[in-house]
Homo-oligomer: A and B are copies of this chain.
Amino acid sequence: MQLGFIGLGTMGRPMALHLIGAGHALAVFARREDAMQPLVEAGAVACATPAVVAEQSDITFTMVTGTADVEQVVLGDDGLIHGARAGTLVIDMSTIDPSATRDISRTLAESGVDMLDAPVSGGPQGARDASLTIMVGGPERAVERARPLFDVLGDSSTHMGEAGAGQTTKACNQLAILVTAQGVAEALTLARCSGLDPERVRQVLMGGLASSRVMDLFGTRMASRDFSAGIESRLYYKDLDIALDLGRARGAALPGAALTMQFINALIGAHRDRDDLSALITVIEQLGVSSDSQ
């Protein structure tokens, strides 16, 4: 199939390579031209704009950072809407505001273009291993069309409902991850302050009901104090912001998520927004440190 892929960062690049590996012809666009190089070497065609990608594609994927980025690559001056033929499909796998997704979807529908929101869980590792969990919103006919491609990219794809339902599910996912990370950071801080080895405590906790993938992944980095690898906290900041906005719109009070957001704010304020989310523990620890001793 003739596919397009827009956004070739940490997530998009390995995903696009998997699609080529599955035998599909790929037209690609990335704002940074050098990001297209590995794809071109694998056989993709580099395009000057998202519109040019869409002209050549039956299905066009977008995997960019935030709501404004999706709006730009889809609806902007050179956006894919200006190249997309009626009957084609846009699959946005970025994590963005569900209400923006619904607006973009409606605009595309006026041109006869279907859209799916299909954000993922699993991070860069899941993208590389093609083991992503894909949460899908949009019309059933488009989901059926996309299913074989989702199977190339992930372990599972679940149709959650109409446009935006994938993004809403992703917001719930990120909320659960972040509040769990808050709990892990506090548990390991309590361990350290009590004179226990946080890594030893973490290992014991992994054997019981406190066990979680967050404890496994971020807990290990918290205990070893390696905040360099993984998923930049600014991305979780964006995602939690979406969840809190959604709560506001739906009248759902989310006190734990709001609290955790304050500590991610503090991480951003300390110019540590490119550190891994596990750096959250340093903000929690710092609460117990007097300004004299800093």
Copies in the complex: 2
A188 beta carbon closer than 8 Å to chain B: yes
Q: Which residue, A184, A187, A195, has most C-beta atoms of chain B within 10 A? A: A187
**A186 x B256 contact (CB < 8 A):** yes
A165 beta carbon closer than 8 Å to chain B: yes
Interface string of A220-246 (1 = CB under 8 A from B): 000000000000000000000001001
The CA-CA distance from A247 to B285 in the complex, in Å, is 12
Binds B, one of A6-14, A51-59, A75-83, A208-216: A208-216
**B205 x A173 contact (CB < 8 A):** yes
- A256 surroundings in chain B (CB, below 8 A): 179, 182-183, 186, 256, 259-260
**B190 x A247 contact (CB < 8 A):** yes
How many residues in A have their beta carbons less than 8 Å from beta carbons of B?
Answer: 70
A104 nearest CB across to chain B (Å)? 18
Residue in B122, B208, B214, B252 whose CB lies within 8 Å of A190: B252
**A205 x B172 contact (CB < 8 A):** yes
**A188 x B172 contact (CB < 8 A):** yes
A residues near B (Cβ < 8 Å) are: 98, 121-123, 126, 133, 135, 155-156, 158, 160-161, 165, 168-169, 171-180, 182-184, 186-191, 193-196, 200-201, 203-205, 207-215, 217, 243, 246-247, 250-257, 259-260, 263, 284, 287-288
Q: Would you list the 6 A-B pairs with minimal beta carbon distance, nearest first?
A: A179-B183, A121-B208, A212-B212, A253-B287, A193-B252, A176-B210
Residue contacts A-B, CB under 8 angstroms, 13 given = A121-B205, A123-B209, A156-B207, A161-B195, A165-B196, A168-B194, A179-B186, A180-B210, A180-B212, A186-B255, A193-B247, A194-B252, A209-B217
